[in-house]
Amino acid sequence: MENLRSILVKIEDTMAELEAILAEEMNQLRRPQINPVSLQIVSDTKSRLLSTIGYYDELRRQEETRLNLAAPYRQNAEFANHWKNITERATSANQHNQNIYNLLDIHMQKINTLKSIVNKADNGASLYTQAGQTNSESAGKVYNFSI
């Protein structure tokens, strides 16, 4: 039983860390301009935390099978309290993820609009030569925007 309690505490603690990382990701995505390096670090940390949660969840299931218990642990108040906290944090993390998706979608729309403007500006551009004649050859740099 002590092993299951320890696993539930670890899941709960990792979920708390995940909430903090999701909040940081949302803060970064709310900015007008994204710092890709910082966002990548947050994304890697989030991925690591999700893997850790998955690992401990698998251990939890094995312990439940061994002890013949099942969440939400109505027969044990301490386990039930841990499980309640875990499910509340999971619900909160899901809501944060929905908000993050919406923020990413907004940034993608802005980038696509910017790409469209750049492409339209390039299509009709013509330059004059030294003789005063138009030259339809494109000159300049091509930019590839991505997140």
CATH of the domain at 21: 1.20.58
In a domain, 30, yes or no: yes
The phi and psi torsions of 33 (rounded to 5 degrees) equal -125, 135
H/E stretch holding 128 = strand 127-128
**Banded model confidence at residue 107, pLDDT cuts 50, 70, 90:** confident
> What six digits make up the tokens of 117?
């403007």
In a domain, 129, yes or no: no
Q: What is the Rg, in whole angstroms, of the alpha carbon atoms belonging to the chain?
A: 25
Residue type, 4: L
Specify the range with the lowest mean pLDDT, choosing from 16-20, 42-46, 119-123, 124-128: 124-128
In a domain, 87, yes or no: yes
Structural domain tally of the chain? 1
Domain that holds residue 57: 2-109
Q: What is the pTM of this model?
A: 0.73
* pLDDT higher than 70, residue 139: no
In a domain, 40, yes or no: yes
Measured between alpha carbons, how far is 39 from 22 in angstroms, rounded to an integer? Answer: 11
In a domain, 95, yes or no: yes
